[in-house]
Amino acid sequence: MALILVAFAGLAAASSFISADVLVPRGSGGRSLLQAKTNCPLNFEFMNYTIITSQCKGPVYPPNLCCGAFKEFACPYATELNDLESNCASTMFSYINLYGHYPPGLFSSECHDDKEGLLCPAAAPQPQEDASSGCMNRQSLTSVIFLACGVVVLKCLLS
């Protein structure tokens, strides 16, 4: 039983950072089946980028404000952004640059906490709900599954 709980705890803490690989801008180096990315399960098109655009303003772009705002926006999606097989990171940066008109590589050159990447708070804020979707997002569904498993384990222990 304890092993199961430890495994669940490990899964829950798996994305407490945004990988440095996500922050590195990637150019298109030609077409290749090995480079094909899966579509992101998140819809970054209709998210609210005000947290970034209201705090990260040029021409100076102060790193403390820009990086703090970037982390506040991106950390709830760390799991999806760290999936290098999906196009989540590139899609998110496309919209950030579209709405904020930032110079290329601003966040990758200014924002870094350690060699792993950007550290996210242990209890990252919940992702913004997509108003066009009535479905439960993956993070909420995962939380419900963990809660249900915990109730079952507790009930077994008390029986």
Q: Are residues 146 and 106 in the same domain?
A: no
Give CA–CA dist 121/123, Å, rounded. 5
Give CA–CA dist 138/80, Å, rounded. 10
* pLDDT exceeds cutoff 90 at 155: no
The pLDDT score that the predictor gives to residue 144 is: 42
The first and second tokens of residue 149, run together, are: 């498993």
Q: Which stretches within 13-137 are classed as H helix?
A: 20-23, 50-53, 63-74, 78-81, 88-100, 106-110
* pLDDT exceeds cutoff 70 at 151: no
pLDDT tens-digit readout, 82-128:
998 999 999 999 999 999 999 988 998 899 888 878 898 875 455 55
The pLDDT score that the predictor gives to residue 36 is: 81
Q: Are residues 123 and 136 in the same domain?
A: no
DSSP category for residue 18: E
The pLDDT score that the predictor gives to residue 63 is: 93
The one-letter amino acid at 92: M
The pLDDT score that the predictor gives to residue 24 is: 54
Angle between helix 2-12 and helix 138-158 axes, rounded to 10 deg: 160
Q: Are residues 121 and 56 in the same domain?
A: yes
Give CA–CA dist 100/53, Å, rounded. 5
pLDDT tens-digit readout, 24-42:
554 444 444 556 889 999 9
Identify the domain containing residue 145 by its residue range.
Answer: 130-159
First to last CA, the chain: 14
Q: Are residues 100 and 139 in the same domain?
A: no
Angle at alpha carbon of residue 151, lines to 76 and 14, rounded to 5°? 30
The pLDDT score that the predictor gives to residue 104 is: 87
Do the Cβ atoms of 18 and 74 come closer than 8 Å?
A: yes
Total domain count, the chain? 2
What is the band of 22 on the pLDDT scale with cuts at 50, 70, 90?
Answer: low
Q: Is residue 94 part of a domain?
A: yes
Q: Are residues 123 and 60 in the same domain?
A: yes
Q: Is residue 97 part of a domain?
A: yes
pTM: 0.60
Give CA–CA dist 4/156, Å, rounded. 13
* pLDDT exceeds cutoff 50 at 11: no
The pLDDT score that the predictor gives to residue 51 is: 96
